[in-house]
Amino acid sequence: MSDDTLRTLGLSEDALTPATNANGETFTPLAAVMDEVNEEAQADAIPRVSTQRRRPSDYARSFIQQKFALQTNRAQVVFERVYGRTDNYLTFLTVSIADRGMLKLAERLEGELDKRFEKIESEIEAACTECDRLFDERRVPVANRRALSDKTRIYDVPLRTNFSARFLQLFSRFDELLCRVEALWINGIIRASGRSQMIEKWDRQVRSFTGSIRGLRDRTLQELRPPVNSMSILVVARKPFFTTDASPILQLQPTWAPKNQLRSSTTPAAAASASIWPSPRAILTLPTCPTAPRWHCRGQTLILPPTLPGWPRA
């Protein structure tokens, strides 16, 4: 090793000279230093587990994958359009609410979902029973009471809640009902117009059911959202202040107010008119939106806008 290399490493020539330690072992000082450096480098190469920052879409969710088949075209179209978002709504109403500690709310929501499912399930079962009654009146053989399809579709469906499995069962009965309606038409029991009317009716029923689940989710979010108060101006009669004997003093007070509406005029003369006086107090409501023109909001501090036209400067 050259003198320049030793000088760069901050070592002397004695680093290359073998030495003897207290145990009588012979070693080279430079080799000992390089071994220690290598051990530190290997220690740094060991992977470490650290906390990961997660977005809402990064959290793991448990599910069971299940095969699911539908025969009729209308059931396939409705299922493909509504299942994904409806499954998300059901997950929010059950798992997400309960995981945040709101157990009483989660129980109440599950009770409402049970009632909604029982209602539409009973309606579909009643319609299937009515189809069977029509078949019995015409003495249709059992083998001809259910139409088949040449385009059966099989889906790999993730089940994330117990209501997801119930939702699949609901669509299975919906598909079964449509197969019986097709069989009624093929056997000449109903006309083509009656077939179309029944299919459209149950299409609307199922879509309305999924819409009611979304409405339940929206109302739940509204309940959990904290109330937002707008800022209004309280006009108080005192004297003297400006140039008149009854000029108003402006004080801020939180209250509910319609958006972008003024319940009184913005001029001193109108504020002192008969619509306000002789009442000692009157509410002058300003726009409720904190980002409205001439208003600036920094955190919780409200900065007053420039002086309104016709008002003296405070």
- The predicted-structure confidence for 55-109, as pLDDT tens digits, reads as follows 766 777 788 999 999 999 999 999 999 999 999 999 999 988 988 889 999 999 9
Residue 40 has pLDDT above 90, yes or no: no
> Considering the chain, what is the average pLDDT of its residues?
74
**Residue 278: per-residue pLDDT:** 42
**Average pLDDT value for residue range 155-160:** 93
Of residues 159, 175, 141, 140, the one with CA closest to residue 70: 175
SS3 95: helix
**Residue 48: per-residue pLDDT:** 75
For the packed helices 73-91 and 192-224, what is the interaxial angle rounded to 10 degrees? 10
What is the DSSP-derived secondary structure letter of residue 56?
Answer: G
Local confidence band at 20 (pLDDT 50, 70, 90 cut-offs): low
Residue 242 has pLDDT above 80, yes or no: no
**Residue 69: per-residue pLDDT:** 95
User: Is the entire prediction scored with pTM above 0.85?
Assistant: no
Question: Hey, which residues does 69 pair with through a beta bridge?
Answer: 154
**Residue 4: per-residue pLDDT:** 59
Of residues 285, 234, 295, 297, the one with CA closest to residue 261: 285
**Residue 70: per-residue pLDDT:** 95
- Range with the poorest average pLDDT among 179-188, 219-228, 277-286: 277-286
Local confidence band at 131 (pLDDT 50, 70, 90 cut-offs): very high
Q: Which residue has the tokens 């919780």?
A: 300
**Average pLDDT value for residue range 291-304:** 46
Local confidence band at 31 (pLDDT 50, 70, 90 cut-offs): low
Q: Are 11 and 30 contacting, i.e. CB atoms less than 8 angstroms apart?
A: yes
**Average pLDDT value for residue range 219-246:** 58
Is the model more confident about 271 or about 121?
Answer: 121
- Say if residue 154 is exposed, middle or buried (CB neighbours under 10 Å; 0-12, 13-18, 19+): exposed
Q: Mark out the alpha helices in the chain (DSSP H runs).
A: 3-9, 29-45, 73-91, 97-99, 103-138, 162-186, 192-224, 268-271
Is the model more confident about 163 or about 272?
Answer: 163
What is the DSSP-derived secondary structure letter of residue 281?
Answer: E
**Residue 227: per-residue pLDDT:** 72
**Residue 50: per-residue pLDDT:** 78
Contacts of residue 192, defined as CB under 8 A and 6 or more positions apart, other chains included, come to: 185
Of residues 150, 174, 149, 310, the one with CA closest to residue 242: 310
Residue 273 has pLDDT above 50, yes or no: no
**Average pLDDT value for residue range 192-204:** 94
Residue 190 has pLDDT above 50, yes or no: yes
Spell 177-214 as b/e; 16+ CB within 10 A means b.
Answer: bbbbbbbbbebebbeeeebeebbeebbeebeebbeebe
The dihedral over CA atoms of 107, 113, 114, 120, expressed in degrees to the nearest 10, equals 170
Q: DSSP secondary structure string, 96-131?
A: IHHHTT-HHHHHHHHHHHHHHHHHHHHHHHHHHHHH
Residue 50 in tokens? 């650290």
**Average pLDDT value for residue range 205-231:** 86
**Average pLDDT value for residue range 117-124:** 95
